[in-house]
Amino acid sequence: MADETSSRSVPDAGKKSPIEPSPLKGAAYASPVSNSTRRRRYILILIGVLVLIVGGVFLWRYLSSYESTDDAAADVHLYPVSARVSGYVVKVNVEDNQWVQQGAVLVEIDPKDYEVAVAEAQANLDSAVATAESLNITVPITSVNTSSQLKSATSDIDNADAGVIAAERQVTAAHAQLEAAEANDVRAQDDLHRYKLLVDTRDVSQQIYDQALATAKSTAASVAAARANESAAQQFVQQAKSRLVQADANHQSAETGPQQVSSTRARVRAAIADVEQRRALLEQAELNLQYTKIFAPVTGEVNKTVVVGLNVQPGQQLLTVVPLNDVWVTANFKETQLKHMRVGQKAEIHVDSSGRKLKGHVDSIAGATGPLFSLLPPENATGNYVKIVQRIPVKIVLEPGQNQDRHLRPGMNVVPDVYLQ
C-alpha cells in the first residue's frame, strides 16, 4: 500500500496525497524535474499577471484620454429668407437644393407700385424744398419791411401830432375871427338901428342908411362865415386826432416786427423739417423698391417654398439657405464626462453615413444643460425627484478643409471623440 501511494504521488507532485507523508520521507522522494516545472509555471503566471497589469494600465490611460458620445449630430445656422415688402412674385431665380453665392438675386417682386411711390416721394420732396427756399428768402424781406414800417409809423405819429397842434391853432384863429366878426356885426346892427331912426326923421340921407344896411348884412355874413370856419377848424382837429390814433396803431403794429420775423423764421424751420420728413419718406420708398429684389444672405444650398405668382406679405418666409461650408458638430456629453474637457482640445468625428473621420476641436461648451433651453424645462421641486445624469451641448468645429466636398450635412449622426490630453 505504501509503495502504490508513493508511486501515484510522483506524477502529481503539485497535489497533496490523502496520506500525509513525513517531511523527511517527502523530501527524499521529490525530483529535480518537478521543481523546475513549477518554477517555470510560476514565472509564466507572474509574467502574465504583469502583462495584464501593464495592458490594463495602458488601456485605462487610453480610455481615459478621450471622451466619446453617440448623442451628437451635425449642426448649422439655417438662414431663413423672408419678404420685407408685400407684392406679386414675378420671378424666382433658383431651384431646390441649388448652390448659390452670397448676394445672388433669389426672388423678384413686381416693382411698379414701388417705382410710382418713389416718384411721388421725389415730387413731394421737391415741393417741400421749394417752399422752404421761398420762406427762407422772406426772412430778410420781412426784417427790412418791419424795420421800415416802424420808422414810418414813428414819423406818422410825429406828423399827426403836429397836425393836431396846427388844427387846434386854426380853431383858435377861427374862434378869434368869429368873435371879431360878431363884434363888427353888433356894431353894424347898432348903426343900422340908429340910422333907421334917423332916416325916419330924415336926419340922414337914404344913401347913408343903405350903406349901413349893406354893412350890417356884410357883418352878418362875416359872422356866419367865421362860425363856419370855426366849425371846419374843429373838424380838422378831429381828423388830425384820428390820424394820430391811426398812426399810433400803425406804430404799435410796426413794433411787432421782431415777432413777425421770429414767426417767419419758425415757418422756415417748419419747412426745413418738412423737407427732412419728405427726404426720409423718399429714402423709405427707395428702400422698399430695393426690397423687391431678395438676395442670398450667405453662400449655401437653397430650400424654397416660393413660386411665381405668389402674393407675399412682409415677414413671410420664402426660402431657407443652408451654409454647408459652416457645418459644426453639437455633441451632448454627460455631465460626468466634462471634468477634464476644455475649449481647444482636439477631436475626431466619426460620420455614420460615410464612415469617414474628420478632425476638429472643441469650440465652446454650452452655458446650461439641454433641457433648460426647451420650451417646457423640467421642474424638480416635487417629492418624487429622481436624479438623472444631465447632458450639456458641446460645440465642435471642423478644422479647415475637412468638409470641402460638403458631404457632412446638418442633422447627420456622428460620434465625436474629444482627446483630453
400-414 tens-digit pLDDT:
989 988 999 999 999
pLDDT class for 25, splitting at 50, 70, 90? very low
Q: What's the rounded Cα separation, in Å, for the pair 189 and 222?
A: 13
DSSP per-residue letters across 22-37: PHHHHHHH--HHHHHH
Phi and psi at 307, nearest 5°, equal: -135, 160
What is the predicted pLDDT for the residue at 34? 77
Phi and psi at 86, nearest 5°, equal: -90, 155
Q: Please give the model's pTM, rounded to 2 decimal places.
A: 0.59
What is the predicted pLDDT for the residue at 154? 72
Residue 344 Ramachandran class (φ > 0 left, ψ -120 to 50 alpha, else beta): left
Higher-confidence residue: 30 or 130? 130
pLDDT class for 214, splitting at 50, 70, 90? confident
Residue 381 burial class via C-beta count within 10 angstroms: exposed 0-12, middle 13-18, buried 19 and up: exposed
* pLDDT, average across residues 341-353: 93
| Closest to 209 (Cα-Cα) out of 231, 219, 223, 194 | 194
* CA dihedral over 81, 87, 93, 95, signed as positive or negative: positive
CB 328 within 8 A of CB 398: yes
Higher-confidence residue: 294 or 20? 294
Q: What percentage of the chain exceeds 90 in pLDDT?
A: 41
* pLDDT, average across residues 69-73: 94
DSSP 411: T
* pLDDT, average across residues 356-376: 88
What is the predicted pLDDT for the residue at 27? 43
What is the predicted pLDDT for the residue at 93? 95
pLDDT class for 215, splitting at 50, 70, 90? confident
pLDDT class for 282, splitting at 50, 70, 90? very high
Q: What percentage of the chain exceeds 70 in pLDDT?
A: 78
What is the predicted pLDDT for the residue at 252? 66
pLDDT class for 6, splitting at 50, 70, 90? very low
Nearest 10 degrees: Cα torsion 200, 202, 204, 208: 50
What is the predicted pLDDT for the residue at 5? 38
Q: What's the rounded Cα separation, in Å, for the pair 323 and 345?
A: 25
CB 363 within 8 A of CB 341: no
DSSP 413: B
| Closest to 319 (Cα-Cα) out of 162, 125, 108 | 108
Minimum mean pLDDT range among 99-113, 136-150, 354-368: 136-150
What is the predicted pLDDT for the residue at 40? 83
300-336 tens-digit pLDDT:
999 999 999 999 999 999 999 999 999 999 999 999 9
390: enclosing H helix or E strand: none
Residue 16 has pLDDT above 60, yes or no: no
Average pLDDT, the chain: 80
Neighbours of 222 (CB within 10 A): 18
Q: What's the rounded Cα separation, in Å, for the pair 229 and 248?
A: 28
User: Which amino acid would we find at residue 90?
Assistant: V
What is the predicted pLDDT for the residue at 177? 76
Residue 153 has pLDDT above 70, yes or no: no
Residue 58 has pLDDT above 80, yes or no: no
176-212 tens-digit pLDDT:
777 777 777 777 777 777 767 776 676 666 777 677 7
What is the predicted pLDDT for the residue at 204? 64
